């Protein structure tokens, strides 16, 4: 095979598959990506056997062919090359020659038959969703995905598609993040329930940054495919039953506190610096018109800060893990947030004040 491709476009495409290339090399071929040239298209595929990414770019292919080559090393080489056309040459299963300006590299390749076969995705089926919907949902649910491997169903986000809307929810047992959005396009009669691993969501979020076309979701056998304009991600799904999250959602009725997002974010960052490595709760004292935030470390000292807010409920004192509050505020786009605190031991509900579709439930800490 022989092909020519632009350096910047090639580097950007290589970057998309780096996240699924196995660095530890449990199987040597998993540290490789499959490079294919056909017609005017150059395709790159990478997999760790759980998550697979396939992407493509336009290029001048003089002779069709395919080869698997070290994904990390190819990326490192292209990253250091000047902004000039890159010539790629190889024979099936032989060394790959990379020529750019006055630089020449040769990488050992392996035959495409040794690369794991990626699942086939049927055409014309699935659920169509706008990329903006997924771009909004993924970071807001990733904050609550658990890292506890003893509870595998919590190590991913639960995706539920009904006739009316799309819902994504995640929980680690201490907090829960829920995002809902209407289905704007697609086959609304098609329903879907799936637990998507954290890694797949993280990689999909990166792929969606520059995406402008609609995304098609196609359920496969114990897998789910996300089809983008010039790329696709296929992930193995987490098996098991996701917890009934509806049971832990507190009612938003009763008094609520409303305050500026940036003010609360800054105050929490400042007061939590005193916590150090201790699992120290940040204490919120809610009073009419003001919020007192404090954090005490018996080894270092204490920090306090007062904020103005809208609140006309009973005086309440409750403790939270500051990191959970900061994670919530970090993905809120609106300028104001609201919180519903029933008592010091009940789950509290945090939401954008005027935004709809995003809720975060956080369990308090004993103080």
Residue 159 counted as domain residue: yes
- Report yes or no: 79 and 94 within 8 Å, Cβ to Cβ: no
| pLDDT band, residue 90 (cuts 50/70/90) | confident
What pLDDT band is residue 93 in, cutting at 50, 70 and 90? low
Write down the mean pLDDT value for the chain. 92
Mark which of 223, 244, 265 sits at the end of a domain.
244
Tracing tokens 């990414």 back to the chain, one arrives at: 53
pLDDT of res. 307? 96
> Does the residue 49 lie in any domain?
yes
Could you report the per-residue pLDDT of 29-82, keeping only the tens digit for each?
Answer: 999 999 999 989 999 999 999 999 999 999 999 989 999 999 999 999 999 999
Q: Show the CA angle centred on residue 342, arms to residues 340 and 347, nearest 5°.
A: 80
DSSP 306-335: EEE-B--S--EEEEE-HHHHHHHHHT--SS
138 CB-near residues (< 8 Å, 6+ apart)? 157, 168, 201, 202, 204, 205, 208
Residue 336 located in a structural domain: yes
Q: How confident is the model over 145-170, as pLDDT tens digits?
A: 999 999 999 999 999 998 888 999 99
Residue at a domain's end among 217, 244, 271: 244
Residue 43 and residue 68 in one domain: yes
Q: How confident is residue 25, by pLDDT bands cut at 50, 70 and 90?
A: low
Predicted confidence band of residue 185 (pLDDT cuts 50, 70, 90): low
pLDDT of residue 174 exceeding 90, the answer is yes
159 and 52 part of one domain: no
- 26 and 94 in a single domain? The answer is yes
Q: Say if residue 235 is in the same domain as residue 277.
A: no
Smallest CA-to-CA distance from 194 within 241, 246, 146, 135 is with: 241
Residues found in the chain = 367
Judge whether 123 lies within some domain: no
Same domain, 199 and 232: yes
Cβ contacts of 149-154, under 8 Å, gap ≥ 24: 152/238, 152/239, 152/240, 153/195, 153/238, 153/240, 153/241, 153/242, 153/243, 154/243
* Boundary-marking domain end, from 210, 228, 244: 244
Estimate to the nearest angstrom the gap between the alpha carbon of 45 and the chain centroid.
20
pLDDT value at position 1?
80
- Domain of residue 147, CATH code: 3.10.150.10
Share of the chain above pLDDT 90, in %: 79
> For residue 298, what are the CA distances in angstroms to 190, 280, 283, 306, 321?
56, 10, 15, 21, 17
Instruction: Clarify whether residues 133 and 231 are in a common domain.
Output: yes
264 shares its domain with 347 = yes
**Residue 122 within any structural domain of the chain:** no
Together in a domain, 311 and 352: yes
The Cα 357–Cα 79 span in angstroms is 40
Taking the C-alpha atoms of residue 305 and residue 75, their distance in angstroms, rounded to an integer, is 48
Same domain, 81 and 107: yes
Residues 148 and 240 in one domain: yes
Number of domains in the chain: 3
> For residue 352, what are the domain limits?
250-362
Q: Tell me the pLDDT band of 360, cut-offs 50, 70 and 90.
A: very high
CB atoms inside a 10 Å sphere around CB 102: 7
Whether 354 shows a pLDDT value over 90: the answer reads: no
pLDDT on residue 189: 46
Question: Is residue 180 one of the residues assigned to a domain?
Answer: no
* pLDDT, tens only, 99-120: 999 999 999 999 999 999 999 9
Does 119 reside within a domain? no
| Cut 0.85: pTM above it | yes
Least confident range from 186-190, 294-298, 355-359: namely 186-190
Answer yes or no: do 265 and 229 share one domain: no
Q: Is 333 exposed, middle or buried (0-12, 13-18, 19+ CB in 10 A)?
A: exposed
Cβ contact 216:227 at 8 Å: yes
Q: In this structure, what are the phi and psi dihedrals at residue 6, rounded to the nearest 5 degrees?
A: -75, 140
For residue 20, the model assigns a pLDDT of: 94
Give mean pLDDT, residues 247-272.
90
Tell whether 262 and 286 lie within a shared domain: yes
Domain membership of residue 105 (yes or no) is yes
Who contacts 163 (Cβ-Cβ below 8 Å, separation ≥6)?
A: 188, 189, 191
């Amino acid at each position: 095979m022989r092909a020519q491709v632009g350096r910047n476009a090639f580097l950007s495409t290589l970057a998309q598959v780096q996240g699924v290339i196995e660095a530890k090399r449990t199987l040597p071929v998993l540290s490789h990506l499959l490079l294919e040239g056909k017609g005017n298209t150059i395709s790159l595929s990478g997999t760790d056997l759980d998550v697979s990414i396939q992407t493509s770019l336009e290029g001048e292919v003089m002779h069709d062919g395919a080869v698997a080559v070290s994904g990390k090393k190819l990326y490192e080489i292209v990253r250091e090359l000047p902004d000039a056309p890159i010539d790629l040459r190889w024979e099936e299963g032989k060394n790959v020659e990379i020529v750019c300006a006055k630089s020449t590299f040769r990488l050992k390749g392996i035959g495409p038959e040794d690369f794991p076969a990626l699942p086939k995705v049927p055409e014309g089926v699935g659920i169509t969703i706008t990329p903006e919907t997924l771009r909004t949902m993924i970071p807001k649910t990733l904050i609550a995905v658990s890292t506890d491997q003893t509870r595998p169903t919590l190590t991913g986000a639960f995706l539920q598609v009904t006739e009316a809307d799309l819902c994504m929810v995640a929980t680690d047992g201490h907090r829960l993040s829920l995002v809902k959005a209407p289905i704007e396009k697609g086959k609304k009669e098609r329903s879907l329930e799936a637990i998507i691993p954290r890694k797949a969501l993280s990689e999909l979020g990166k792929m969606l940054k520059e995406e402008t076309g609609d995304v098609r979701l196609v359920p496969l056998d114990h897998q789910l495919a996300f089809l983008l304009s010039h790329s696709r991600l296929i992930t193995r799904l987490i098996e098991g039953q996701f917890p009934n999250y509806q049971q832990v959602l507190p009612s938003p009725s009763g008094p609520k506190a409303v305050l500026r997002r940036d003010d609360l974010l800054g105050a929490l960052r400042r007061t939590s610096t005193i916590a150090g490595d201790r699992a120290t709760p940040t204490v919120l004292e809610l009073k009419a018109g003001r919020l007192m935030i404090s954090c005490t470390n018996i080894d270092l000292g204490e920090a306090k800060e007062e904020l103005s807010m809208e609140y006309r409920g009973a005086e309440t004192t409750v403790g939270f893990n500051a990191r959970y509050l900061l994670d919530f505020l970090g993905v809120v786009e609106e300028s104001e947030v609201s919180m519903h605190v029933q008592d010091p031991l009940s789950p509290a509900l945090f939401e954008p004040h005027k935004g709809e579709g995003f809720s975060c439930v956080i369990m308090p800490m004993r103080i």
